[in-house]
Structure 1
Amino acid sequence: MAKKKSLDKIDLKILSILQNDARITNHDLSQKVGLSPSSCLQRVRKLEEEGYIEGYMANINLDMICRTVTVLVTVSLHEHTNDNFKAFEEAIEKFPEIVECYTVSGNFDYFLRIVCPDMNSYLKLNDDLISNMEGVANISSHVALAHTKPFRGYALDRLVE
Protein backbone atom coordinates (compact mmCIF):
# COMPACT_ATOMS: atom_id res chain seq x y z
CA MET A 1 0.00 0.00 0.00
CA ALA A 2 1.32 3.44 -0.87
CA LYS A 3 2.20 5.87 1.85
CA LYS A 4 -0.87 8.03 2.54
CA LYS A 5 0.54 10.74 4.76
CA SER A 6 3.66 11.76 6.53
CA LEU A 7 3.94 9.98 9.85
CA ASP A 8 5.33 11.86 12.81
CA LYS A 9 7.88 10.48 15.29
CA ILE A 10 5.18 9.33 17.71
CA ASP A 11 3.36 7.34 15.00
CA LEU A 12 6.64 5.70 14.00
CA LYS A 13 7.43 4.89 17.62
CA ILE A 14 3.97 3.35 18.08
CA LEU A 15 4.48 1.21 14.96
CA SER A 16 7.96 0.14 16.08
CA ILE A 17 6.72 -0.93 19.48
CA LEU A 18 3.61 -2.72 18.17
CA GLN A 19 5.52 -4.73 15.57
CA ASN A 20 7.68 -6.16 18.35
CA ASP A 21 4.96 -6.48 20.99
CA ALA A 22 1.42 -6.40 19.62
CA ARG A 23 0.09 -7.53 23.01
CA ILE A 24 1.34 -4.47 24.85
CA THR A 25 -1.45 -2.78 26.76
CA ASN A 26 -2.57 0.61 25.57
CA HIS A 27 -1.57 2.01 28.97
CA ASP A 28 2.01 0.71 28.65
CA LEU A 29 2.21 1.83 25.02
CA SER A 30 1.02 5.31 25.92
CA GLN A 31 3.71 5.58 28.60
CA LYS A 32 6.44 4.48 26.18
CA VAL A 33 5.46 7.07 23.56
CA GLY A 34 4.61 9.87 26.00
CA LEU A 35 0.88 10.23 25.31
CA SER A 36 -2.25 9.91 27.39
CA PRO A 37 -3.92 6.49 27.00
CA SER A 38 -6.88 7.98 25.11
CA SER A 39 -4.65 9.89 22.66
CA CYS A 40 -2.51 6.82 22.13
CA LEU A 41 -5.53 4.64 21.43
CA GLN A 42 -6.85 7.22 18.95
CA ARG A 43 -3.52 7.14 17.09
CA VAL A 44 -3.42 3.33 17.00
CA ARG A 45 -6.99 3.16 15.66
CA LYS A 46 -6.17 5.80 13.03
CA LEU A 47 -3.04 3.86 11.98
CA GLU A 48 -5.24 0.76 11.63
CA GLU A 49 -7.96 2.58 9.67
CA GLU A 50 -5.45 4.15 7.29
CA GLY A 51 -3.81 0.78 6.58
CA TYR A 52 -0.45 1.34 8.28
CA ILE A 53 -1.29 -1.57 10.56
CA GLU A 54 -2.64 -4.38 8.40
CA GLY A 55 -3.30 -6.83 11.21
CA TYR A 56 -1.85 -8.56 14.24
CA MET A 57 -0.29 -12.02 14.18
CA ALA A 58 1.39 -14.33 16.63
CA ASN A 59 4.85 -15.65 15.79
CA ILE A 60 4.37 -19.40 16.01
CA ASN A 61 7.27 -21.68 16.93
CA LEU A 62 6.47 -24.24 14.26
CA ASP A 63 9.32 -26.52 15.38
CA MET A 64 7.49 -27.11 18.66
CA ILE A 65 4.34 -28.17 16.82
CA CYS A 66 5.57 -30.37 13.99
CA ARG A 67 8.39 -31.16 11.60
CA THR A 68 8.48 -29.15 8.41
CA VAL A 69 10.61 -28.45 5.40
CA THR A 70 10.97 -24.91 4.11
CA VAL A 71 11.80 -24.51 0.44
CA LEU A 72 12.77 -21.24 -1.21
CA VAL A 73 11.71 -21.40 -4.83
CA THR A 74 12.44 -19.26 -7.85
CA VAL A 75 10.01 -19.34 -10.76
CA SER A 76 10.49 -18.08 -14.31
CA LEU A 77 7.65 -17.66 -16.78
CA HIS A 78 7.90 -18.37 -20.52
CA GLU A 79 6.32 -15.10 -21.56
CA HIS A 80 6.13 -11.85 -19.64
CA THR A 81 2.56 -10.81 -20.26
CA ASN A 82 0.12 -9.35 -17.77
CA ASP A 83 -2.18 -12.33 -18.37
CA ASN A 84 0.60 -14.82 -17.51
CA PHE A 85 1.56 -12.96 -14.35
CA LYS A 86 -2.08 -12.70 -13.28
CA ALA A 87 -2.74 -16.39 -14.01
CA PHE A 88 0.32 -17.46 -12.00
CA GLU A 89 -0.59 -15.26 -9.05
CA GLU A 90 -4.16 -16.56 -9.03
CA ALA A 91 -2.97 -20.16 -9.26
CA ILE A 92 -0.59 -19.96 -6.30
CA GLU A 93 -3.39 -18.66 -4.08
CA LYS A 94 -4.78 -22.21 -4.18
CA PHE A 95 -1.69 -23.58 -2.39
CA PRO A 96 -1.75 -22.77 1.35
CA GLU A 97 1.78 -24.17 1.64
CA ILE A 98 3.02 -21.18 -0.37
CA VAL A 99 3.28 -18.77 2.54
CA GLU A 100 4.99 -15.89 0.71
CA CYS A 101 5.43 -14.76 -2.87
CA TYR A 102 7.45 -11.88 -4.26
CA THR A 103 7.51 -10.65 -7.84
CA VAL A 104 11.17 -9.86 -8.49
CA SER A 105 13.51 -8.48 -11.10
CA GLY A 106 16.52 -10.35 -12.41
CA ASN A 107 16.98 -13.87 -13.74
CA PHE A 108 13.62 -15.13 -12.50
CA ASP A 109 10.14 -13.68 -12.01
CA TYR A 110 8.97 -14.91 -8.61
CA PHE A 111 10.48 -15.87 -5.30
CA LEU A 112 8.33 -18.17 -3.15
CA ARG A 113 8.64 -19.45 0.39
CA ILE A 114 6.94 -22.79 0.76
CA VAL A 115 6.43 -24.70 4.02
CA CYS A 116 5.45 -28.38 3.79
CA PRO A 117 5.29 -31.23 6.30
CA ASP A 118 8.02 -33.17 4.47
CA MET A 119 9.93 -33.45 1.19
CA ASN A 120 7.39 -35.83 -0.35
CA SER A 121 4.67 -33.22 0.20
CA TYR A 122 6.88 -30.58 -1.38
CA LEU A 123 7.64 -32.80 -4.38
CA LYS A 124 3.91 -33.33 -4.92
CA LEU A 125 3.28 -29.59 -4.68
CA ASN A 126 6.15 -28.95 -7.11
CA ASP A 127 4.63 -31.45 -9.58
CA ASP A 128 1.25 -29.70 -9.19
CA LEU A 129 2.88 -26.34 -9.89
CA ILE A 130 4.54 -27.64 -13.04
CA SER A 131 1.57 -29.56 -14.41
CA ASN A 132 -1.25 -27.15 -13.51
CA MET A 133 0.32 -23.84 -14.45
CA GLU A 134 0.76 -23.01 -18.07
CA GLY A 135 3.54 -20.60 -18.83
CA VAL A 136 5.99 -21.74 -16.15
CA ALA A 137 9.40 -22.11 -17.79
CA ASN A 138 11.56 -23.00 -14.81
CA ILE A 139 11.24 -23.79 -11.13
CA SER A 140 14.38 -23.90 -9.01
CA SER A 141 14.13 -25.18 -5.44
CA HIS A 142 16.42 -24.45 -2.51
CA VAL A 143 15.80 -26.35 0.73
CA ALA A 144 16.39 -24.18 3.79
CA LEU A 145 18.76 -25.92 6.17
CA ALA A 146 18.41 -23.44 9.05
CA HIS A 147 16.50 -20.29 9.84
CA THR A 148 19.44 -18.18 10.99
CA LYS A 149 17.77 -14.75 11.15
CA PRO A 150 14.00 -14.74 11.50
CA PHE A 151 11.98 -11.65 10.68
CA ARG A 152 11.71 -9.47 13.77
CA GLY A 153 10.18 -6.33 12.35
CA TYR A 154 11.31 -3.44 10.21
CA ALA A 155 14.02 -0.98 11.23
CA LEU A 156 11.62 1.96 10.88
CA ASP A 157 14.08 4.40 12.43
CA ARG A 158 16.55 3.58 9.61
CA LEU A 159 14.01 3.34 6.79
CA VAL A 160 12.23 6.63 7.45
CA GLU A 161 14.35 9.74 7.43
Structure 2
Amino acid sequence: MLKKISMGLILLAVVVLGLALTQPDHFTVQRSATIKAPPARVMGYLNDFHQWPAWSPWEKLDPNMQRTFEGAASGKGAVYAWNGNDEVGQGRMEIIDSNVPSSLAIKLDFIKPFASSNQTEFMLQPQGDATVVTWTMKGKSLFVTKLMSVFMSMDKMIGKDFEKGLAQLKEVAEK
Protein backbone atom coordinates (compact mmCIF):
# COMPACT_ATOMS: atom_id res chain seq x y z
CA MET A 1 0.00 0.00 0.00
CA LEU A 2 2.80 2.44 0.95
CA LYS A 3 4.61 1.56 -2.27
CA LYS A 4 1.50 2.41 -4.34
CA ILE A 5 1.08 5.76 -2.57
CA SER A 6 4.74 6.59 -3.14
CA MET A 7 4.51 5.68 -6.82
CA GLY A 8 1.36 7.77 -7.15
CA LEU A 9 3.06 10.80 -5.59
CA ILE A 10 6.11 10.39 -7.82
CA LEU A 11 3.87 10.12 -10.89
CA LEU A 12 1.96 13.25 -9.82
CA ALA A 13 5.23 15.16 -9.36
CA VAL A 14 6.45 14.07 -12.80
CA VAL A 15 3.16 15.18 -14.40
CA VAL A 16 3.27 18.61 -12.67
CA LEU A 17 6.91 19.13 -13.66
CA GLY A 18 6.12 18.06 -17.21
CA LEU A 19 3.21 20.50 -17.39
CA ALA A 20 5.46 23.28 -16.05
CA LEU A 21 7.90 22.66 -18.90
CA THR A 22 5.10 23.23 -21.43
CA GLN A 23 4.24 26.71 -20.11
CA PRO A 24 5.18 29.79 -22.21
CA ASP A 25 8.66 31.32 -21.86
CA HIS A 26 7.23 34.83 -21.41
CA PHE A 27 4.15 36.34 -19.78
CA THR A 28 2.14 39.53 -20.20
CA VAL A 29 -0.39 40.98 -17.78
CA GLN A 30 -2.44 43.98 -18.90
CA ARG A 31 -5.36 45.95 -17.49
CA SER A 32 -6.98 49.26 -18.44
CA ALA A 33 -9.23 51.80 -16.74
CA THR A 34 -10.85 55.07 -17.73
CA ILE A 35 -10.12 57.91 -15.33
CA LYS A 36 -12.01 61.21 -15.49
CA ALA A 37 -8.91 63.39 -15.29
CA PRO A 38 -6.49 64.80 -17.85
CA PRO A 39 -3.41 62.69 -18.71
CA ALA A 40 -1.02 65.16 -17.03
CA ARG A 41 -2.85 64.81 -13.70
CA VAL A 42 -2.83 61.01 -13.89
CA MET A 43 0.82 60.95 -14.94
CA GLY A 44 1.71 62.97 -11.84
CA TYR A 45 0.80 59.93 -9.71
CA LEU A 46 2.75 57.51 -11.90
CA ASN A 47 5.89 59.47 -12.79
CA ASP A 48 6.78 60.25 -9.14
CA PHE A 49 7.40 57.21 -6.92
CA HIS A 50 6.72 59.40 -3.86
CA GLN A 51 3.06 59.45 -5.06
CA TRP A 52 2.70 55.67 -5.29
CA PRO A 53 1.54 55.18 -1.66
CA ALA A 54 -1.65 57.06 -2.62
CA TRP A 55 -2.71 54.40 -5.12
CA SER A 56 -0.39 51.36 -5.38
CA PRO A 57 -2.12 48.08 -4.45
CA TRP A 58 0.96 46.83 -2.60
CA GLU A 59 1.74 49.85 -0.42
CA LYS A 60 -0.73 48.99 2.35
CA LEU A 61 0.18 45.29 2.61
CA ASP A 62 3.07 46.03 4.97
CA PRO A 63 2.84 49.14 7.18
CA ASN A 64 6.46 48.57 8.25
CA MET A 65 7.84 48.30 4.70
CA GLN A 66 11.18 50.08 4.27
CA ARG A 67 11.33 52.38 1.24
CA THR A 68 14.25 54.21 -0.32
CA PHE A 69 14.28 56.73 -3.16
CA GLU A 70 17.32 57.49 -5.31
CA GLY A 71 18.20 59.28 -8.51
CA ALA A 72 15.88 61.85 -10.05
CA ALA A 73 12.95 63.12 -7.97
CA SER A 74 10.60 61.95 -10.73
CA GLY A 75 10.70 60.81 -14.33
CA LYS A 76 13.59 59.06 -16.04
CA GLY A 77 16.25 57.99 -13.54
CA ALA A 78 13.95 57.93 -10.49
CA VAL A 79 14.50 54.80 -8.38
CA TYR A 80 12.28 53.26 -5.71
CA ALA A 81 13.42 50.26 -3.64
CA TRP A 82 11.46 48.41 -0.99
CA ASN A 83 11.95 45.69 1.57
CA GLY A 84 8.93 44.28 3.34
CA ASN A 85 7.07 41.28 4.62
CA ASP A 86 6.32 38.10 2.65
CA GLU A 87 3.39 39.76 0.86
CA VAL A 88 5.48 42.56 -0.70
CA GLY A 89 8.95 41.00 -0.72
CA GLN A 90 11.97 43.00 -1.74
CA GLY A 91 12.68 44.77 -4.99
CA ARG A 92 13.59 47.84 -6.98
CA MET A 93 11.95 49.93 -9.71
CA GLU A 94 13.61 52.44 -12.01
CA ILE A 95 11.88 54.71 -14.49
CA ILE A 96 13.75 54.08 -17.74
CA ASP A 97 11.57 56.17 -20.05
CA SER A 98 9.09 58.96 -19.35
CA ASN A 99 7.11 60.73 -22.05
CA VAL A 100 4.85 63.04 -20.06
CA PRO A 101 1.89 62.80 -20.29
CA SER A 102 1.53 59.77 -22.58
CA SER A 103 3.77 56.91 -21.44
CA LEU A 104 6.07 55.60 -18.75
CA ALA A 105 8.39 52.57 -18.75
CA ILE A 106 9.77 51.00 -15.58
CA LYS A 107 12.41 48.33 -15.06
CA LEU A 108 11.07 46.19 -12.22
CA ASP A 109 13.44 43.86 -10.37
CA PHE A 110 12.26 41.52 -7.64
CA ILE A 111 14.83 40.19 -5.20
CA LYS A 112 12.57 38.29 -2.77
CA PRO A 113 10.70 35.96 -2.60
CA PHE A 114 12.50 35.02 -5.83
CA ALA A 115 14.61 37.01 -8.26
CA SER A 116 13.10 38.18 -11.53
CA SER A 117 13.28 41.15 -13.85
CA ASN A 118 10.27 42.56 -15.67
CA GLN A 119 9.24 45.54 -17.76
CA THR A 120 6.24 47.60 -16.66
CA GLU A 121 4.58 50.21 -18.85
CA PHE A 122 1.81 52.73 -18.41
CA MET A 123 0.16 54.13 -21.53
CA LEU A 124 -2.15 57.14 -21.18
CA GLN A 125 -4.58 57.97 -23.97
CA PRO A 126 -6.83 61.05 -23.75
CA GLN A 127 -10.49 60.32 -24.40
CA GLY A 128 -12.68 63.42 -24.16
CA ASP A 129 -12.51 64.66 -20.57
CA ALA A 130 -10.98 61.37 -19.40
CA THR A 131 -7.81 59.32 -19.78
CA VAL A 132 -7.59 55.63 -20.62
CA VAL A 133 -4.72 54.19 -18.57
CA THR A 134 -3.27 50.85 -19.66
CA TRP A 135 -0.92 49.10 -17.23
CA THR A 136 1.20 46.29 -18.70
CA MET A 137 3.85 44.03 -17.21
CA LYS A 138 5.96 41.70 -19.35
CA GLY A 139 8.59 39.28 -18.26
CA LYS A 140 10.41 36.04 -18.77
CA SER A 141 8.77 33.01 -17.18
CA LEU A 142 11.37 31.44 -14.94
CA PHE A 143 10.87 27.79 -14.00
CA VAL A 144 9.27 28.73 -10.67
CA THR A 145 6.85 30.98 -12.61
CA LYS A 146 6.06 28.14 -15.00
CA LEU A 147 5.49 25.81 -12.04
CA MET A 148 3.06 28.27 -10.43
CA SER A 149 1.33 28.73 -13.81
CA VAL A 150 0.33 25.07 -13.79
CA PHE A 151 -2.08 25.95 -10.98
CA MET A 152 -2.82 29.64 -11.62
CA SER A 153 -1.87 31.99 -14.46
CA MET A 154 0.25 35.09 -13.92
CA ASP A 155 -2.64 37.05 -15.41
CA LYS A 156 -4.98 35.90 -12.64
CA MET A 157 -2.36 36.31 -9.90
CA ILE A 158 -1.25 39.83 -10.84
CA GLY A 159 -4.25 41.06 -12.81
CA LYS A 160 -6.40 41.53 -9.70
CA ASP A 161 -3.67 43.72 -8.18
CA PHE A 162 -3.55 45.81 -11.36
CA GLU A 163 -7.34 46.20 -11.24
CA LYS A 164 -7.18 47.29 -7.59
CA GLY A 165 -4.32 49.71 -8.30
CA LEU A 166 -6.12 51.27 -11.27
CA ALA A 167 -9.30 51.67 -9.17
CA GLN A 168 -7.28 53.39 -6.44
CA LEU A 169 -5.49 55.56 -9.03
CA LYS A 170 -8.90 56.53 -10.43
CA GLU A 171 -10.09 57.46 -6.95
CA VAL A 172 -7.16 59.78 -6.16
CA ALA A 173 -6.86 61.30 -9.65
CA GLU A 174 -10.57 62.13 -9.88
CA LYS A 175 -10.60 64.11 -6.59
Normalised by the length of structure 1, the TM-score is 0.22
Where relative contact order (Cα < 8 A, 6+ residues apart) is larger, the structure is 2
Q: Which has the larger radius of gyration?
A: 1
Larger strand fraction of residues: 2
